[in-house]
Amino acid sequence: MSDLVTFGETMLRLTPPGNDRLERTDTLEIRVGGAESNVAVAANRLGVDATWLSKVPDNPLGRRVVRELEGYGIETNVVWADEGRQGTYYVERAGAPRGTSVVYDREGAAVTTTRAQEVDFEAIQNARVFFTSGITPALSDTLRETTTNLLKAAKQGGTTTVFDFNYRRKLWSPSAARQTLSSLFPGIDVLVIAARDARNVLGLEGDSRQLAHKLGSTHDFRTVVVTRGAEGAVAWHDTVVHEQPAIETDTVSRIGTGDAFTGAFVARRLVGEDVPTALEYAAATAALKRTIPGDVALVSKAEVEGVLEEETGGVSR
Amino acid sequence: MSDLVTFGETMLRLTPPGNDRLERTDTLEIRVGGAESNVAVAANRLGVDATWLSKVPDNPLGRRVVRELEGYGIETNVVWADEGRQGTYYVERAGAPRGTSVVYDREGAAVTTTRAQEVDFEAIQNARVFFTSGITPALSDTLRETTTNLLKAAKQGGTTTVFDFNYRRKLWSPSAARQTLSSLFPGIDVLVIAARDARNVLGLEGDSRQLAHKLGSTHDFRTVVVTRGAEGAVAWHDTVVHEQPAIETDTVSRIGTGDAFTGAFVARRLVGEDVPTALEYAAATAALKRTIPGDVALVSKAEVEGVLEEETGGVSR
Amino acid sequence: MSDLVTFGETMLRLTPPGNDRLERTDTLEIRVGGAESNVAVAANRLGVDATWLSKVPDNPLGRRVVRELEGYGIETNVVWADEGRQGTYYVERAGAPRGTSVVYDREGAAVTTTRAQEVDFEAIQNARVFFTSGITPALSDTLRETTTNLLKAAKQGGTTTVFDFNYRRKLWSPSAARQTLSSLFPGIDVLVIAARDARNVLGLEGDSRQLAHKLGSTHDFRTVVVTRGAEGAVAWHDTVVHEQPAIETDTVSRIGTGDAFTGAFVARRLVGEDVPTALEYAAATAALKRTIPGDVALVSKAEVEGVLEEETGGVSR
Amino acid sequence: MSDLVTFGETMLRLTPPGNDRLERTDTLEIRVGGAESNVAVAANRLGVDATWLSKVPDNPLGRRVVRELEGYGIETNVVWADEGRQGTYYVERAGAPRGTSVVYDREGAAVTTTRAQEVDFEAIQNARVFFTSGITPALSDTLRETTTNLLKAAKQGGTTTVFDFNYRRKLWSPSAARQTLSSLFPGIDVLVIAARDARNVLGLEGDSRQLAHKLGSTHDFRTVVVTRGAEGAVAWHDTVVHEQPAIETDTVSRIGTGDAFTGAFVARRLVGEDVPTALEYAAATAALKRTIPGDVALVSKAEVEGVLEEETGGVSR
Amino acid sequence: MSDLVTFGETMLRLTPPGNDRLERTDTLEIRVGGAESNVAVAANRLGVDATWLSKVPDNPLGRRVVRELEGYGIETNVVWADEGRQGTYYVERAGAPRGTSVVYDREGAAVTTTRAQEVDFEAIQNARVFFTSGITPALSDTLRETTTNLLKAAKQGGTTTVFDFNYRRKLWSPSAARQTLSSLFPGIDVLVIAARDARNVLGLEGDSRQLAHKLGSTHDFRTVVVTRGAEGAVAWHDTVVHEQPAIETDTVSRIGTGDAFTGAFVARRLVGEDVPTALEYAAATAALKRTIPGDVALVSKAEVEGVLEEETGGVSR
Amino acid sequence: MSDLVTFGETMLRLTPPGNDRLERTDTLEIRVGGAESNVAVAANRLGVDATWLSKVPDNPLGRRVVRELEGYGIETNVVWADEGRQGTYYVERAGAPRGTSVVYDREGAAVTTTRAQEVDFEAIQNARVFFTSGITPALSDTLRETTTNLLKAAKQGGTTTVFDFNYRRKLWSPSAARQTLSSLFPGIDVLVIAARDARNVLGLEGDSRQLAHKLGSTHDFRTVVVTRGAEGAVAWHDTVVHEQPAIETDTVSRIGTGDAFTGAFVARRLVGEDVPTALEYAAATAALKRTIPGDVALVSKAEVEGVLEEETGGVSR
């Protein structure tokens, strides 16, 4: 029985080597990535049993996703589907002014057909935390309904619900996202949201502190975490706002930084640490993530604590 | 203006290195492959201007397909689509008893929505040969109709139509294939068909000679080529049957062998050679293809003729 | 709770690409391999929950071994050691007359210090089958004693014990192996042994049938499987001898063939099939293993059954 | 018929992976690069039909060059030579203080024997712009003469001539370059020159504005573009000087930056934009080029315009 | 007969590509590295014949070490051992805040059993300089004694002894290192020491100048070089202190920087240059080393002198 | 002072991975190969000190050749040239019917300008055997004269001369080769010649025994070795003919097989073994070579003797 259960889509991630272009490359790196499994892995790295729920096609591509995630240490609990694809996305890494770009190839994914009754409710209700993100309801009408129902089920089971707003402009418009995601707010205990999304999607104004405060005082959240820039963050909790600066890092891969942050935050809260301490772990985990290729925060708790103790980035030998 | 014009789907082909499994590999080779573009490339290699018509998504994946094909020397003439995916397939190479296996990920491909009016009719009608295969009408109802119309247009333009039966059991049942493909026969001048398909799909009996004879005498084909095993073949032409033995080869990649055969056959017919000579070139091209990784017959005419002159496979230095 | 529990050393396996030499190569493939984890993976592939027990150093190399095995689907249950190395071996692949060669670098491995009391007895006693091999007691005096105790514990718990004789001449002399391994025979229910070892180490004579009969009738085994050549085999069970021919295969990697055989045999016995059927699955799994790089039989039950139904090694599409 | 026609040498480019040294590396990346084909590709990316003229050996190396360039979207029109080599160069990438270094292996290249009468005059005279660079006449006496004649032919056909001064100290001395290249000035409409070359080779003094002004007012050029540093530039046109600042970039590969600049400038002038706008596109294309491995600016017009609209270098998803 | 002879352990160095983690990577780069062979290579690059003495296992791994070093241009003179391992270490490259980390797997290495009488005394006594480092006596009691004896033998033969303090916290405690290494000081002519080690291990205080002065005036060294940060350094020689600033560099690999510094310093002293000049070469060699992957300074004397003449890090072509 | 000294060209060898084509590959393997250095390496592997003499350009490409050869264990003694290229060749590996093909890019190589007075005569005259091959005089008029002079010098110094006929049709015609090479015969003690060359170039007839006998009895050779097929051979020595069958092998790379044969033959003759024994070692070394990628026989004497003792090609562990 895992303390943390997450639900969402995980895609195959195909990436040309170095900074080469899809138009020309003859090889691709293949890994997996998805907000909800990323969060599960990061939390697990920081000491929490975690399970990822999803639906994947019963073919070598679906098995690939499941096996890679199990190889990162988490449990998986998936519906094996006869219909529907394995979602895929292509990443072209680049520095400024090109910028890393993503080509999604996720239409028709098996996961988009998941109905609440296919999901292991018991796993969610026996967990201490249930996590999903704003990507999930954006993927299909079915998933919008399923997300609502799973959050409801978690609540009924006494499971704390954590939700990352995670607006993706390639999936839906700001107004569609606002409407759907706002409707989920009553079912959410802990909201994580980028300052950028709070402004551009929810239409709020102010600095991060103000955004956190507005969200916390307007809705019925227990905690609101507003992330910004290189994953520094501000948390509103019990009417108090805590600030966590970002940690400097030589960035190798940005994707998954927010998930690493959230996973670590949830993990440290689960082991009983207070919000400011959890934020510190979260920022350190996010910083380490950025030194690691791929979407997943393959860190150890010792490494995270090494960062907090301000060990530097030389050669350890 | 190309002498040969082909129409069909070309997919991205993703392959683990060596004989590794999709479930585990961390890298994939990326190439493109599709019966109709394979045929165009093989024909071009043997001295014929060739153009591939299709519809691809207007994104880096679609551009990748188009650019790689142009880099093989053929012309492309595609509709750039805002909707629909780039079809993809995964190949796991293996010897017996595992056998090479293919995972198709081609649902929702942009090409499946191609209507006849989107295709460059003039290119087809100005060509001397138009080629497509039984894969195309299997992909969607729209493409079934489009295939019918393109064959009709070719006929009206006085363009010879060549058709490879190419039954794929992962796309449709034998009976569905038989019904659709038989209905196309009146529009076809030259039919290429595997003996296996003639038996299992069309329900014919007999050895390759008999199959060729039956097909040639029953329908209104000018030429019928029946391929078998390692691409030896039998051709029925003007009531005469010609036999072409296969050429021994150290096989590196089977996929695309039949397309290499057909492309070379068409090319040599187009430059005016008789059926037995065209069959020889076809068998040599098919044999060379099997020594080359990927789907595409990157051969030269000189190499093909070297095989026909029975130069051996040692070291040329 | 797994049905199958295995105990033994798993090493990092470092291999130059293709057939290159260690003396020169600039890259190595890194995988893991070990008889007992190989058996667990093969059994798991054929439908049985399996757990591997061992002791590994608490460093990135030890974690690598555990994570890769979990990524193959089995459970792990290891002692994390502060002392002792992660065993490693280097493989140079080659055809005749060079032949694949192995350089072991396994001295001082953490696993060699494992004492019985460190091992999870409950896991063994709650399992239906416990497996280890003749490599384990060859690694250290401590492990010789531990092997004896674990087999004893299994017996006490009513767990069936399966043992692969697995003589390794780079680890000990035939006479040392004979003395130690014979002393373990009373604790073993199912013995798997290569005909070569039965002759060269145990000093028995005769063909495989005779070897199986001699072993079965002399000792108190329930089953004796004698393997030979490309993993054809003979099994003595309840006084009856069953013969299983080998299956032809395009071999990519021999290492791990015997473990694939044993894992599949155990798995099919566990699901209740009779000895001849289990032997068939075992031979098919072994044949498939030889088409897969590395030590581990990354097969599916469907593929194994495809081999048994004599599907051939062409292209499945 | 292409709007832009270029003539010059394109070499195979062989590069060790990462920052490794030729002395030791076991693998090389192979690509192609040459000022005149680089310009053609960059221009084509920004919407202009472009053709590259040259002479290459009729062997797999020459075919490699032609095929790769066609795969980048341009047309090729080459003389296939029976004599002469395919020019090659080796690049060792490195940061400061080592610096990227180039080993040329281009002596005896087939292209160095190209006489004007071998070149497709009609293609040049039917184009709107003809481009070559100061590298071409540096390669051989024959090419010096050919360059003169091709520029003359272009003029006669009413084709605008664009010339990049491109001094290479590994090919000739500053005085030899000055003498030869100055003699070509009367045939040139648009001169592109690095401030460094204007100073060190032509012996001019002053800042970039002054250099542009001196060159523009002294000779009969329609336009003079003086490039500097990270490809900021100054253009003198119709007695007016326009300034274009450089765009900040995370540089992956410097080689080809100037060609990207020139190609984009030519392309935007050809579609009718004014000099300042063409300079903006040029600077953005040059900046994007520096984020792409290899010599060639594999950009899209949309990406260039994205840079001009100041989209930042984050993750687009 | 080499002018410089060094003695010490050289390990196989295994590194995941890019910044990937050992836990997951499927390939490793394999190279060799060790302080004493690194110094020999760097000195050789700057014009001095150099020989590395050691003991390696008589297997493909030991041969690999010897062959790679010979391929870098130095002589080797090793004892081929039947017992003992080839030391190995794993490097995970990373930027801040993760930092590059090293996993040593060097226990039981053959070299740790080397006794003085196994070493070629004549080679040491006929050389002009003998070099070893503080790593050697840290590896085993035997090597501590051997180090003492080799330094003594060098002195007796009139060979100058150079010693790099090289404290490694993964090998021993500061106090153990201080006790052992201090006892070697009387046998040392030239001491190289990091300011960090002088402070943390020897307990000295002050800036680099003061550290050099204290060490030089307290002990009987001819020269003391105190290195710091990015390998700027201070040298005390004949009571005078010389200062050498570091040279800015785009760092690709830090490991081996100090060895490059020392090797170049020794080489230039051996060819008769004064201490300030030798320091300049040393700093330039160290800066170049940081642009080269791996442990070894594959530079040329011309490149080093290019840095001293302040040529910049652009593209040389 | 080496027992064996060889003189000739060694080229960089560039090879696409697997069986891919130069026209398309994005990576090349880089190694070195040349008949005379191959012979030196093979002889060295079998216990003889060997030195390779040549002339190479003083640039990273020339250094690469020298360093790689030193890394294989032989000595090098080369003229560093300011003029002239480093010869290069490209290999496309392929099975039947394509066959491995070679593209030479060796015109203008520095070695082709080597005059006898540049070569270290003393090294040749102090050696016990001097080796060169028929490739050397084919490369330039200068080298034809140099070859004559070096053979003469060897004779004068009492050094045994060994010569491999090595006809290369891409370098010269049979008649040109016959004329030049025959004129060298009086200076040759031991001739190695392929039966194919004896027939096609020298115009001799008969089976291998007869060819050896004719050559031995007509000219003043001490020994004549006629090689055939997969490097079985016949040797005429002191009027007696000895026959050596080929050894079966799983061939990975044919190139260099003959050089491995000759190097081993020379080595074993040098250590005093009789002709039949030397032939056995030669055949075994040739067979092992074919299991190793590249041109060079990276074998050990123990492996060669293992083949002679008929150990099979299984897994040694």
Cα–Cα distance measured from residue B154 to residue B53, given in angstroms and rounded to the nearest whole number? 14
Q: Please identify among residues 23-52 of chain F the ones whose CB lies closer than 8 Å to any CB of chain B.
A: 23-24
Cα–Cα distance measured from residue F244 to residue F278, given in angstroms and rounded to the nearest whole number? 10
Under the banding of pLDDT at 50, 70 and 90, the label for residue C81 is: very high
Of D71, D249, D303, the CB nearest to A96: D249
Look over chain C and give the mean of its residue pLDDT values, rounded to a whole number.
Answer: 95
Q: Nearest Cα to E101, choosing from C258, C61, C87?
A: C61
Nearest Cα of chain D lies from the Cα of B123 at a distance, in angstroms, of: 18
Q: How many CB pairs under 8 A join A and B?
A: 70
Q: Does F61 touch chain D (CB under 8 A)?
A: yes
Of F28, F64, F107, the CB nearest to D30: F28
Q: Nearest Cα to B192, choosing from B277, B140, B257?
A: B257
Cα–Cα distance measured from residue D68 to residue F21, given in angstroms and rounded to the nearest whole number? 13
Q: Does F101 touch chain B (CB under 8 A)?
A: yes
Under the banding of pLDDT at 50, 70 and 90, the label for residue B310 is: confident
Cα–Cα distance measured from residue A268 to residue A285, given in angstroms and rounded to the nearest whole number? 11
Residue B64: CA atoms inside 13 Å, Cβ hemisphere, count?
25
In a domain, B90, yes or no: no
When pLDDT is averaged across residues F131-148 and rounded to a whole number, the result is: 98
In a domain, D139, yes or no: yes
In a domain, C23, yes or no: no
Q: Give 10-residue mean pLDDT values along chain E (317 residues).
A: 94 97 97 98 97 98 97 97 97 94 96 97 97 98 98 97 96 97 97 97 96 96 91 91 94 94 98 97 96 96 93 60
Q: Tokens 């001048």 appear where? A: B189
Q: At what angle do helices C60-71 and A60-71 cross, to 10 degrees?
A: 150
Helix (H) or strand (E) run with residue D78 in it: strand D75-81
Residue F61 has pLDDT above 60, yes or no: yes
In a domain, D30, yes or no: no
Tens digits of per-residue pLDDT, C130-141? 999 999 999 999
Tens digits of per-residue pLDDT, B46-90? 999 999 999 999 999 999 999 999 999 999 999 999 999 999 999
Cα–Cα distance measured from residue B27 to residue A133, given in angstroms and rounded to the nearest whole number? 29
The neighbouring-strand residues paired with C2 are none
Structure tokens at A266: 């949830």
Of E22, E24, E26, which to mutate for an interface test with B (greatest number of B Cβ within 10 Å)?
E26
In a domain, D20, yes or no: no
Q: How far out from the chain centre does Cα C124 lie?
A: 17
3-state secondary structure C158-177: CCEEEEECCCCCCCCCHHHH
Helix (H) or strand (E) run with residue D50 in it: strand D50-57
Which positions in chain D touch E303 (Cβ < 8 Å)? 98
Active site residue D295: no
Q: Please identify among residues 164-183 of chain A the ones whose CB lies closer than 8 Å to any CB of chain D.
A: 168-170
Q: How far out from the chain centre does Cα B53 lie?
A: 14
Cis preceding-peptide flag for A60 (omega within 30 of 0)? no
When pLDDT is averaged across residues C295-315 and rounded to a whole number, the result is: 85
CB neighbours (10 Å) of residue E228?
16
Q: Nearest Cα to A235, choosing from A256, A220, A249, A221?
A: A221
Nearest Cα of chain F lies from the Cα of C165 at a distance, in angstroms, of: 15
When pLDDT is averaged across residues A247-274 and rounded to a whole number, the result is: 96
Q: Nearest Cα to E50, choosing from E100, E11, E93, E2?
A: E2
**Residues in Cβ contact with A141 at an 8 Å cutoff, skipping those fewer than 6 apart:** none
Looking at residue E232, what is its pLDDT? 87
Of E21, E23, E100, the CB nearest to A315: E100
Which positions in chain E touch F72 (Cβ < 8 Å)? 67, 71
Looking at residue A254, what is its pLDDT? 92
In a domain, B99, yes or no: no
Nearest Cα of chain A lies from the Cα of B60 at a distance, in angstroms, of: 6
Cα–Cα distance measured from residue B113 to residue B124, given in angstroms and rounded to the nearest whole number? 19
Active site residue ranges of B: 259
| Domains held by chain C: number | 1
In a domain, D298, yes or no: yes
Cα–Cα distance measured from residue B142 to residue E50, given in angstroms and rounded to the nearest whole number? 75
Looking at residue D231, what is its pLDDT? 64
Cα–Cα distance measured from residue D88 to residue D111, given in angstroms and rounded to the nearest whole number? 12
Number of residues written out for chain A: 317
Under the banding of pLDDT at 50, 70 and 90, the label for residue A232 is: confident
Whether D96 sits inside 8 A of E249 (CB atoms) is yes
Whether A97 sits inside 8 A of D293 (CB atoms) is no
Q: What is the CATH classification number for the domain harbouring C287?
A: 3.40.1190.20
Looking at residue B311, what is its pLDDT? 54
Tens digits of per-residue pLDDT, C195-224? 999 999 999 999 999 999 999 999 999 999
Which of the 8 DSSP states describes residue B216? Answer: H
Tens digits of per-residue pLDDT, C234-279? 999 999 999 999 899 999 999 999 999 999 999 999 999 999 999 9
In a domain, B198, yes or no: yes
In this structure, are residues A270 and A43 in contact, taking their beta carbons and an 8 Å threshold? yes
**Residues in Cβ contact with A29 at an 8 Å cutoff, skipping those fewer than 6 apart:** A14, A15, A16, A17, A293, B26, B27
Nearest Cα of chain E lies from the Cα of D115 at a distance, in angstroms, of: 26
Whether E71 sits inside 8 A of F73 (CB atoms) is no
In this structure, are residues B15 and A60 in contact, taking their beta carbons and an 8 Å threshold? no
Residue F143: CA atoms inside 13 Å, Cβ hemisphere, count?
21
Q: What is the pTM of this model?
A: 0.96
Cα–Cα distance measured from residue D3 to residue A171, given in angstroms and rounded to the nearest whole number? 40
Active site residue ranges of E: 259
Of E252, E288, E317, the CB nearest to D97: E288
The neighbouring-strand residues paired with B52 are B6, B76
Cα–Cα distance measured from residue F144 to residue A70, given in angstroms and rounded to the nearest whole number? 67
Prediction ipTM score: 0.93
What is the residue-wise DSSP string for chain A?
A: --SEEEE---EEEEE-STT--TTT-SEEEEEEE-HHHHHHHHHHHTT--EEEEEEEESSHHHHHHHHHHHHTT-EEEEEEESSSBPPEEEEE---TTT-EEEEEE-TTBGGGG--GGGS-HHHHHHSSEEEEETHHHHS-HHHHHHHHHHHHHHHHHT-EEEEE----TTT--HHHHHHHHHHHGGG-SEEEEEHHHHHHTT---S-HHHHHHHHHHHS--SEEEEEETTTEEEEEETTEEEEE-------S--TTHHHHHHHHHHHHHHTT--HHHHHHHHHHHHHHHTTSSSSS----HHHHHHHHTT--SSEE-
Whether C96 sits inside 8 A of F312 (CB atoms) is yes
Of E22, E28, E105, the CB nearest to C27: E28
Residue B17 has pLDDT above 70, yes or no: yes
Classify the C-alpha dihedral E46-E48-E52-E58 as positive or negative: positive
Cα–Cα distance measured from residue A264 to residue A281, given in angstroms and rounded to the nearest whole number? 6
Whether F99 sits inside 8 A of B287 (CB atoms) is no
Q: Nearest Cα to A119, choosing from A134, A130, A128?
A: A130
Of B44, B51, B67, B298, which to mutate for an interface test with D (greatest number of D Cβ within 10 Å)?
B67
- Main-chain dihedrals φ then ψ at residue D15, nearest 5 degrees: -135, 130
Classify the C-alpha dihedral C4-C7-C8-C10 as positive or negative: positive
What is the residue-wise DSSP string for chain E?
A: --SEEEE---EEEEE-STT--TTT-SEEEEEEE-HHHHHHHHHHHTT--EEEEEEEESSHHHHHHHHHHHHTT-EEEEEEESSSBPPEEEEE---TTT-EEEEEE-TTBGGGG--GGGS-HHHHHHSSEEEEETHHHHS-HHHHHHHHHHHHHHHHTT-EEEEE----TTT--HHHHHHHHHHHGGG-SEEEEEHHHHHHTT---S-HHHHHHHHHHHS--SEEEEEETTTEEEEEETTEEEEE-------S--TTHHHHHHHHHHHHHHTT--HHHHHHHHHHHHHHHTTSSSSS----HHHHHHHHTT--SSEE-
Residue D259 has pLDDT above 90, yes or no: yes
Which positions in chain C touch B23 (Cβ < 8 Å)? 298
Of F15, F23, F70, F106, which to mutate for an interface test with D (greatest number of D Cβ within 10 Å)?
F23
Q: Tokens 């190396």 appear where? A: D61
Residue D40 has pLDDT above 80, yes or no: yes
Structure tokens at D200: 């060190």
Residue F311 has pLDDT above 60, yes or no: no
Structure tokens at B179: 């019904």
Cα–Cα distance measured from residue B174 to residue B181, given in angstroms and rounded to the nearest whole number? 10
Cα–Cα distance measured from residue E110 to residue A184, given in angstroms and rounded to the nearest whole number? 65
Cis preceding-peptide flag for B276 (omega within 30 of 0)? no
Tens digits of per-residue pLDDT, D115-149? 999 999 999 999 999 999 999 999 999 999 999 99
Q: Tokens 């021919």 appear where? A: C245
Nearest Cα of chain A lies from the Cα of F25 at a distance, in angstroms, of: 8
Residue F238 has pLDDT above 80, yes or no: yes
In this structure, are residues F313 and C99 in contact, taking their beta carbons and an 8 Å threshold? yes
Domain residues for the domain of A123 are: 35-84+111-311
Looking at residue A310, what is its pLDDT? 76
Residue C44: CA atoms inside 13 Å, Cβ hemisphere, count?
24
Nearest Cα of chain C lies from the Cα of A7 at a distance, in angstroms, of: 20
Cα–Cα distance measured from residue E227 to residue E196, given in angstroms and rounded to the nearest whole number? 9
Q: How far out from the chain centre does Cα B154 lie?
A: 18
What is the residue-wise DSSP string for C245-263?
A: -------S--TTHHHHHHH
Looking at residue A311, what is its pLDDT? 54
Cα–Cα distance measured from residue B241 to residue B238, given in angstroms and rounded to the nearest whole number? 8
Cα–Cα distance measured from residue F166 to residue F146, given in angstroms and rounded to the nearest whole number? 17
In this structure, are residues D37 and D69 in contact, taking their beta carbons and an 8 Å threshold? yes
Question: Could you give the percent of chain A with pLDDT greater than 90?
Answer: 95
Q: Neighbours of C (≥3 Cβ pairs closer than 8 A)?
A: A, B, D, E, F
Under the banding of pLDDT at 50, 70 and 90, the label for residue A230 is: low
